[in-house]
Chain A
Amino acid sequence: MRAHKFQGTKINPSKFHPSQIRFLLIILPIALFMLLPLIYIFNHAFKPLEELFYYPPRFFVEQFTLQNFVRLFQVTGSSGIPMSRYLFNSIIVTVLVLFTSVLISTLAGYALSKLNFKGKRLLNEINTIALMFVGVAVTIPRYLIIEKLGLIDNFFIHVLPYLAIPVGLFLIKQFVDQIPNELIDASRVDGANEWQIYTKIILPLIRPAIATIVILSFQTVWNSADTSTTYINNDSLKTFAFYMNTLTSNTNGVAGQGMAAAASLIMFLPNLLIFIIMQSKVMDTMAHSGIK
């Protein structure tokens, strides 16, 4: 009897219990508030033009249509570059960043955790401090450095600044730390070299952390318009996120709103999809994600 009562109020209960209702009463309104803007985008994106003009405005869509998406794809910017070009740029940038950032942070994470080299402690400490690094604070010196390196208007400037993610390295290292040294020593005895250890032992065991970095990186790169605004003048090299911003800030008036909502939806859905697919792995990573 008493044990049953404990089930309800304890942390991580396995099933519903009436005592959980008090928490639901608090959380549900908050969740609704969080959800409202998202529901609004969904509805707005599928509204036909007339409904966007409704006064007073109506929240829910009545005549479901794909008009906004069609117009979004047909509109070309003032420079005459079709939207598909921007989308293509963004996909290339995102794929490059995901692949490269996972590669370099897992390599570095393995070395930092299991190999010995001079400067290891220092790099580790600087990286931990850099967790608090706020990119926007150094926009200007970054710009000057990139200019000095001659990377203005170079397509790869979309990729390079996002490759070193201190949080990513940090999460990876924590995962590698948990792999027992005996396992690695044993395979060394069996004649495996460091690269084989990295590909055959480390990578498979840190999959949850990799999934998490993929999500974090995807979110940053896919949503970022900063590199296009700051480092790229050539319109044909800019990204989808940038295009969405100019499109939505230049098209004043009601017609633009529908397209803006459609654009937001296109920006948002891939993020959500990737997260839902990898949700359990992310939670697994986060359970170990503390700073000690």
Chain B
Amino acid sequence: MNDTVAMKKRISSKAIREQQNIAYLFVFPYALMFIIFIVVPVIAAIGLSFTYFDTVRTPIWIGFDNYINILTNDDVFMQYVIPNTLKYAIIVGPGGYILSFLLAWMLAQLAPKIRTVLALIIYSPSLTSGITMAVLWRVIFAGDNSGYLNSVLLNLGLIVEPIVFLQSKEFLLTIMIVVTLWSSMGVGFLAMLAGILNVNQELYEAGYIDGIKNKFQEMIYITIPSIKPQMLFGAVMAIVGTFSASGIGVALSGSNPTPQYAGQLIVNHIEYYGFNKYEMGYAAALSVILLMIVYFFSRMSFKLFGSKDE
């Protein structure tokens, strides 16, 4: 009797070990790529951020100097990069996110055929490639009267002389925001749309019996709580998309730094220091700050929409 129990135990522990080995085999390729191209670069960025490194000589440990310099000596960073990044990130991030939710919410209330067509139209700009498109945006916003926008505005008599949109301090950031918003209705938008379409219909009927009076209350008390996971997914995608797309200013204006730093965002600042000035330690410190900003926004989204049990 005891023998059989022991034997069973031995067999099962052997089976468990075997399964574990297979599991490692299955996970290994992904984990390897994940570690080399995501985990190690992040750790390296943190390490390098405490050094002076010009890519030629070995990095020299300088403690927090890079961070102190960023915060106290980098006029461009404080005067242009931070305000620009905040303005851009808040409008494109939360702004674009709310817009994509509202669009998804309205689309969900349309008849299926027209809904599919409109959803495809709204989604398709996110399929274009940012940098190739920049060339075409340059035609639309061209600074002489061959530009489409200038031509239209001149024809309507709204302006007397063509505006040099992409080199101008006043317009560059706004154009960047419009262009990014245009292409920001991606998978997050689809997730929220699919989520809303899958909300149990009975919840709404129950809600109206319980005294919900209008569409707004319905959205706040039923729709959003029912699709919290999709809302969170959408938020994370919005944050990532916002920062990933922020090379657009350089692509539009054709120079880094952007004219008078009008469209200088933190990503451009990083590339400028890294690839133009070869101050890799400094650039790494800026990267760490960017990663912290992204992480902060994500934690906020988790606070808003994350489930309580985890």
Contact = CB atoms under 8 A, between A and B. Distances in A.
Interface of A: 9-17, 20, 23-24, 26-28, 30-31, 33-35, 37-38, 40-41, 44, 55-57, 59, 103-105, 107-108, 110-112, 115-118, 120, 123, 126-127, 129-142, 144-145, 149, 160-161, 163-164, 166-167, 169, 194, 198, 212, 216, 219, 222-225, 241, 244-245, 248-249, 254, 256-257, 260-261, 263-264, 267-268, 271-272, 275-276, 279, 282-287, 289-292
Contact of A248 (B36, B128, B135, B197): B135
B6 interface: no
18 contacts: A10-B204, A12-B108, A12-B196, A16-B110, A16-B111, A23-B106, A126-B39, A138-B287, A139-B271, A140-B270, A141-B41, A164-B30, A223-B128, A224-B129, A276-B120, A285-B194, A290-B230, A291-B232
Contacts of A244: 132
B112 interface: yes
Contacts of B48: 140-141, 144
Contact of B24 (A117, A224, A271): A117
A136 B131 contact: no
Interface in B115-170: 116, 118, 120-125, 127-133, 135-137, 139-140, 145-148, 151, 154-155
Given A31-B118, A56-B145, A115-B19, A133 B240 contact: yes
B236 A139 contact: no
Interface stretch (B60-68, B69-77, B221-229): B221-229
Interface stretch (B79-87, B90-98, B185-193, B256-264): B185-193
B101 to A, nearest CB: 13
Contacts of A123: 27, 31
Leading 9 A-B pairs by shortest Cβ distance:
A290-B229, A223-B129, A108-B30, A141-B44, A286-B194, A115-B23, A164-B33, A117-B23, A111-B26
Contacts of A105: 30
**Size class of the B contact interface (CB-based, 8 Å):** 35 or more
A137 B291 contact: yes
Given A24-B114, A260-B136, 7 more contacts: A27-B110, A108-B31, A144-B280, A216-B187, A223-B128, A248-B132, A283-B190
Tell me the interface secondary structure of chain B in the complex: helix
B206 interface: no
Contacts of B33: 104, 160, 163-164
A129 B291 CA distance: 11
A55 B151 CA distance: 9
Nearest to A151: B36
Contacts of B31: 108, 123
Contact of B243 (A20, A134, A139): A134
B7 interface: no
* Residue of B30, B129, B131, B139 with most partner-chain A CB within 10 A: B30
B22 to A, nearest CB: 5
Given A11-B109, A141-B45, A116 B118 contact: no
Contact of A12 (B103, B131, B197): B197
A107 B29 contact: yes
Contacts of A10: 109, 201, 204
Given A132-B294, A142-B37, A286-B195, A107 B201 contact: no
